[in-house]
Structure 1
């Protein structure tokens, strides 16, 4: 329990007075509860009990029910009056987010891609469920048994989307069908729950329920793979690009701002050139006269920078993460307990990529960093991955999401959990990567080279994603003609420091998730611009910007769109 001053207003355990909830907060709470009622998986993310076995309705009827609830909420927003700046930001953010949700629904498209569509989501929620007690395994068994209905509803939506002329590209259909088959294998991503139950010594009845649920879920994935290949694939277009009209809307959803796509594309080219030049400077520090590739070969040949096997990777991730939290806490950032705990995990899948899942609302389940390692990847270089740990952990995603989770005394639940904007989340994480260099945590030239590698990758994605989907011309040194996916893949190969398996996954991801990949650098750009504005205002007042306080102010906003961020952080 926090100590309180003897007189004056009640104080927050963090900074400032405890805020009395307003009518705007009450509306946001009510809206969020309706949202959760339609999306039980999100309740599991929060650690809320009561709906552990349920899934959302992914059918056309379920999607329309969600959209209708959101239309009604938009109409009600206009009747609310803010009483303070927090209310103003809430109303601004809700109107922007909910409005885009409705706009995307009305396009009639159902998303299918290799990372962020229903086939992956209904499986991934199982990873967040407790798996220790008899009751825990009963919940997992129940959700597994309900997974087939969720995928059936999703298939209905894919069919409806196809009837409206929106069929996912052939590349995405093939990729997801392959994923579904991998999930359905007897030793696939769904196979471990029964094994864990036996290890935990749960009852024979629960083991039988888990076996039945696992079998049903695996069969559901096999069926979806067959449907995709038999019914959707023959009609799927070869063209990956979605065109500038849909791209503009998708980009706005991921960033919370309407981009000037041509200007952003040109800026991406400039940013890529800047980062390559910075890498060349680091290469010279590693060995005078060395090229970037020669410097990387030197780093890769250093045994002290190598990890062999996923266990070594997991242990290194955890050690580096713990060290970062200890060094940054109460010095550069506010990191109070319980958000000073972060678990590093090897994911049960082997798709490639690294991701973060937030803590439960009460922090009984901590934030977690997951590494999905392709089976052919057996060795890992620390110099390439140090910045990834900072990106996913502290001061990146974990600090941002855990901070928003913690500030119950000032933000409503929708602000803390109900709004997700990639441009904010990923923009902050990229900003955090460069900030670690600024704060002196990347003095090792190898780690600095790795950070620039990751930044360079994100800049290249701005060019690839906008260029391919919008039909822009490639730069002259890449032929000067309109981008094609094949040319784009070679461009990515030249700039993305990842394995061949990871490149295949990322290439397919960008083509199937238009607008998301550029949101990282776009968001980072806005965070940097806001900081520069604040620093200029501080200089004009004869002061220095308190970075620790500035970052806390940013993160206590919750996850909002970039236009709302500018609105909230105006000097």
Structure 2
């Protein structure tokens, strides 16, 4: 199951590994893609330097076997993971949430990965065309990584921590089922399916309690901090009257096709389900966490303090970055990037004539009223304006624009406190549901405006919206490439997209440039802080202070960031590692191709074959450079 958590900071990873929470929540909301290959009748995905040689019978045979494997693997995955299908707009399994928490589910995922690798090994890669070889390589890479996550020693560490405040069904499901999320409410069947999913949600919540109890018995427990945050999240939801909760939203907006009699029946059924099923389940989880789990949760916030944690973190680092990196290597890269970006910030401070120190300049940016949004509506209108400016520039840098529309809206109040500064939820491949850029308006006085352009470029266009939409709209790709992905590519592209603001001329204003440097600094600090927390024993307060000292982040944002790194170790490393790779490959292409370099073509090479593991992306760009030089 591919799960991707997309946001200004959020999460992404390939087919759910050990930590397989049903709800990679926003994750599923952001399923990205992973690689290329055209079906037998399609035109080449990317123009080749010279016409391909006529395929031999062996090549055709092996290609048919390869695509049959892709199709069978994807269909089996959709049956095991019905939400994955629903997010694509495939409603065949829409009456189920899925069962991503049981031993039977984990065994089925492991068996599927083993079977897929066995079938792949029986295909002769050497006779395949280059684009098909690329697909073969990505499928092999991601499936092997999935299988590593199901090693018994890793699975025992992850399955007993089924949710946390940043990654869990308890925060995903309310929006999903609200009538404003991914679940459709266009027909009577849609409304009936939602009630059936409510029952699955209740089952999941009770099974989560069982998993936590297993962890208590084995000594593998989550942090007190994360547990307290979950308790607060659940308490906030339960404080709402059933009729005011997101779960009641669908019956407030019936489509015309639902009769008056059905409306009355469904309204009563939804009210009963909320009061008699959902709220009691949420209450059971909240009370268990508060009375049984919290007293035994660990004080240490890093995996370093958890039984088996250091081994788990080393695996997560390599899985998230798709590269054979160690925590120490990443920590040192982070320190180097922090130093480089600090020097650029000093240039901005001098340019605007600020007389104090850089730290005083940070405080000036945090506190001066001219950098504060006046209201939630003003912030929303500001993002609309940024979007229009960016849209006008995009054709200069991209040869293909997504069909899917992009909408902009703030997080709902019930979840905004614990969300990142922004995030993206994918639309459907056919464009019937647009992509959504969410921004955070919680604690408005703590928000500042210089980073608005860079946040839009990252979460909206040409960041996540382009990368995810172009992949899933490309029917020439096999499904695992259209809808799969890895964090390093997905978030690396979005961070790279921020840098296009320089090319587009948006950062000539020094304060907007400071905003993008601040966001780049955030990604550099993540390398330092995430590894500091989980491999060096940094405390929560030490980590927050480091981020405040090296950027203009307010304490509210810095706290949310650090608590997120505590909840989902290694995910935050992907942004900078991925962006550094894409930036390095562009510089390499510019240097080697000179006047033959075309930025539109480079972007097509990066985007149009899905979210590739970084080493495979580099191999592809190297081949493209060689072909262009020879042309």
Query: Is 1:77 matched with 2:120?
Result: yes
The one-character-per-residue Cα deviations of 1:490-517 (angstroms, maximum 9, x if unpaired) are 2123235444333332211101211111
Query: Is 1:23 matched with 2:65?
Result: yes
Say which SS state the counterpart of residue 239 (structure 1) adopts: coil
2: CA distance, partners of 1:561 / 1:391: 20
Q: CA deviation at 1:59?
A: 2.1
Say which SS state the counterpart of residue 368 (structure 1) adopts: strand
Say which SS state the counterpart of residue 343 (structure 1) adopts: strand
Identify which of 266, 270, 286 aligns with 1:210.
270
Query: Is 1:532 matched with 2:583?
Result: no
2:402–2:466 Cα contact (<8 Å) kept:
no
Q: Where in structure 1 are there 5+ consecutive unaligned residues?
A: 1-8, 472-481
Match in the other structure for 2:386: 320
1:356–1:398 Cα contact (<8 Å) kept:
yes
What is the aligned-residue RMSD (CA, Å)?
2.8
Q: CA deviation at 1:113?
A: 2.7
Q: CA deviation at 1:310?
A: 2.3
Say which SS state the counterpart of residue 383 (structure 1) adopts: coil
The one-character-per-residue Cα deviations of 1:417-459 (angstroms, maximum 9, x if unpaired) are 0x22111111111111112113322211111110001111111
2:366–2:553 Cα contact (<8 Å) kept:
no
Identify which of 164, 173, 194 aligns with 1:113.
164
The one-character-per-residue Cα deviations of 1:233-268 (angstroms, maximum 9, x if unpaired) are 233222222234221101122111121332221121
Identify which of 418, 423, 447 aligns with 1:355.
423
Match in the other structure for 2:543: 488
Query: Is 1:279 matched with 2:354?
Result: no
The one-character-per-residue Cα deviations of 1:181-201 (angstroms, maximum 9, x if unpaired) are 223332599813424523447
Match in the other structure for 1:477: none
Query: How does the TM-score come out when normalised to structure 2?
Result: 0.80
Match in the other structure for 2:206: 152
Identify which of 84, 100, 103 aligns with 1:60.
103
Query: How does the TM-score come out when normalised to structure 1?
Result: 0.88
Query: Is 1:236 matched with 2:285?
Result: no
2: CA distance, partners of 1:315 / 1:251: 38
1:324-403 matches, within 5 Å, as 324-328=390-394, 330-336=395-401, 338-339=403-404, 341-348=405-412, 349-350=415-416, 351-353=418-420, 354-374=422-442, 376-377=443-444, 380-403=447-470
Q: Residues 163, 93 of structure 1: CA spacing in aligned structure 2 closer, same or farther, 3 A cutoff?
A: farther
Greater CA drift, 125-134 or 319-328: 125-134
1: CA distance, partners of 2:248 / 2:45: 42
Q: Where in structure 2 are there 5+ consecutive unaligned residues?
A: 1-40, 305-309, 624-631
Q: Residues 158, 66 of structure 1: CA spacing in aligned structure 2 closer, same or farther, 3 A cutoff?
A: farther
1: CA distance, partners of 2:242 / 2:495: 33
Match in the other structure for 1:546: 598
Q: Residues 251, 124 of structure 1: CA spacing in aligned structure 2 closer, same or farther, 3 A cutoff?
A: farther
Match in the other structure for 1:478: none
Say which SS state the counterpart of residue 91 (structure 1) adopts: helix
Q: Residues 504, 296 of structure 1: CA spacing in aligned structure 2 closer, same or farther, 3 A cutoff?
A: closer
Identify which of 284, 291, 308 aligns with 1:223.
284
Match in the other structure for 2:321: 255
Identify which of 121, 134, 144 aligns with 1:99.
144
1:190–1:214 Cα contact (<8 Å) kept:
no
Instruction: Choose between structure 1 and 2 for higher RCO, CA contacts under 8 A separated by at least 6 residues.
Output: 2
Q: CA deviation at 1:278?
A: 0.6
1: CA distance, partners of 2:78 / 2:505: 42
Say which SS state the counterpart of residue 451 (structure 2) adopts: helix
Q: CA deviation at 1:554?
A: 0.5
2: CA distance, partners of 1:169 / 1:135: 41
2: CA distance, partners of 1:522 / 1:189: 45
2:471–2:607 Cα contact (<8 Å) kept:
yes
2: CA distance, partners of 1:252 / 1:124: 32
Say which SS state the counterpart of residue 396 (structure 2) adopts: coil
Greater CA drift, 114-123 or 240-249: 114-123
1:41-52 matches, within 5 Å, as 41-52=83-94
Greater CA drift, 218-227 or 420-429: 218-227
1:32–1:413 Cα contact (<8 Å) kept:
yes
Identify which of 560, 565, 576 aligns with 1:510.
565
Say which SS state the counterpart of residue 308 (structure 1) adopts: coil
2: CA distance, partners of 1:258 / 1:121: 32
Q: Residues 459, 430 of structure 1: CA spacing in aligned structure 2 closer, same or farther, 3 A cutoff?
A: same
